[in-house]
Amino acid sequence: MIPYIHVPDLPVAGPVTLHPFGLLVATGVVLGTWITTRRAAQRGLDTDQLNSFITWMLIFGFVGGHVFDAIFYHPEKIKADPLYLIKIWESLSSFGGFLGAGIGIFLWKYFETDRAIVNLGLFTLFSFKRRKTPAPIMPLADLIISVFPVAWIFGRGGCAVVHDHKGAVAPAGHWLAVGYPVREADFIHNAKGITGEVVWNWGPLQFVKGLAPHFDLGLLEWFFTVLLSVFLIISWRRKLPTGTYLSVVTLAYAPIRFLMDFFRLPDDGHTGDLRFGALTFAQYACIALFLYGLYAAWNAKRLADAGDDPLDFYKLAPKKPKKKAKRKSAEAATA
């Protein structure tokens, strides 16, 4: 079995600490944005437009990640405290983030920032205006999704190290099972006090050979994401029709996530996931995502057959070479 790995918070100064989940997610966002911007620059695209697109996507993605998580996974918390709905630091869900990001880029299609209203140094509030012509979102979304799984490695890595997606009981000794501590709550506070567990340390990391085998769904999705990322990175040097990455990633991820959600623990009032009928919120979202993937594949083929590349909309005009100043020869000066 895979050992249960506990990564403690990293103290910075005084009461300030870095949580492993937040640190890994932030790393994924920064790395993914940098790689995407670099790929766009290599292709001669307007990186200002791309960065604006990414900003809207991230802001709405993080807000939606919490709001939809609260609505579909923790409605009892909203009932107990309605303000929980706006406490975006409390919890996140992946499909909530995807849905929020989709809303953000849909709004970006029709609106753009106009002028700064309030400048607070590190943070600026802008007014918005409607675009004269809606901006195409598919080409930029395709560019981002070609890099997204690389960034997602860090996001799902965060889930794996905090073990927030504990799955169903696994067969004893299964090679994909994680040996969870029998008394997980006690382990978090005092790892060496658990009876029947083998604990060893490697620097700040704690490894527990637990006696309760479970599938760790965050870790399983991390394995899948690494394999998908390798496949995509190999393809980056090829010129693929715009829309290809949207279809490949969605058609690959949706069925895998749909099946893995059957291994999620049922809701018992404290842990597990709510079911709506027989399926989780994410499984219904997977069905919609798979259907979109089929449409994206059809649309990419249609555009390729027509010879149209919607990515051309964001290509910058080639810079004109500077004219060299003509030197007047001595003969011409005296002529």
Is 326 within the bounds of a domain? no
Nearest Cα residue to 306 out of 298, 315, 294, 317:
298
Q: What is the pLDDT of residue 108?
A: 93
- One-letter amino acid of 284: Y
Provide the token pair at 162.
């905090």
Provide the token pair at 190.
């005092």
Backbone φ and ψ of 187, nearest 5°: -60, -40
Return the HEC string of 45-111: ECHHHHHHHHHHHHHHHHHHHHHHHHHHHCHHHHHHCHHHHHCCCCCCCHHHHHHHHHHHHHHHHHE
For 7-28, b/e burial (b = at least 16 CB within 10 A) is beeeeeeeeeeeebbebbbebb
- One-letter amino acid of 252: A
3-state secondary structure of 244: helix
Between strands 10-13 and 177-180, the pairing is: unpaired
Is 332 within the bounds of a domain? no
Rg (CA), the chain: 25
Q: What is the pLDDT of residue 210?
A: 80
* Ranges of the chain with pLDDT below 50: 184-195, 325-326, 328-335
Is 270 within the bounds of a domain? yes
Question: Beta strands of the chain (E only): which ranges?
Answer: 2-6, 10-13, 16-18, 111-119, 124-130, 166-169, 177-180, 198-202, 205-209, 212-216
Residue 148: CB atoms within 10 Å = 23
Q: What's the length of the chain?
A: 335
Q: What is the pLDDT of residue 146?
A: 95
Which strand (E) or helix (H) includes residue 14?
A: none
pLDDT single digits (tens) 110-153: 998 867 676 666 566 777 889 899 999 999 999 999 999 999 99
Domain containing 97: what range?
2-316
Q: What is the pLDDT of residue 185?
A: 47
Is 128 within the bounds of a domain? yes
Is 322 within the bounds of a domain? no
Is 325 within the bounds of a domain? no
For 207-226, b/e burial (b = at least 16 CB within 10 A) is bbebbbbbbbbbbbbbebbb
Provide the token pair at 37.
């911007």
Provide the token pair at 251.
């058609």
Question: Dihedral (C-alpha) 232, 302, 110, 281: value to the nearest 10 degrees?
Answer: -60
Is 330 within the bounds of a domain? no
Is 324 within the bounds of a domain? no
Rounded CA-CA distance 115/128 in Å is 7
Cα angle value 249/251/253 (rounded, 5°): 65
Provide the token pair at 234.
């190999």
pLDDT single digits (tens) 165-199: 888 888 888 888 898 887 544 444 444 444 456 67
Q: What is the pLDDT of residue 195?
A: 46
State the sign of the Cα–Cα–Cα–Cα dihedral 210, 185, 220, 229: negative
- How many domains, the chain? 1
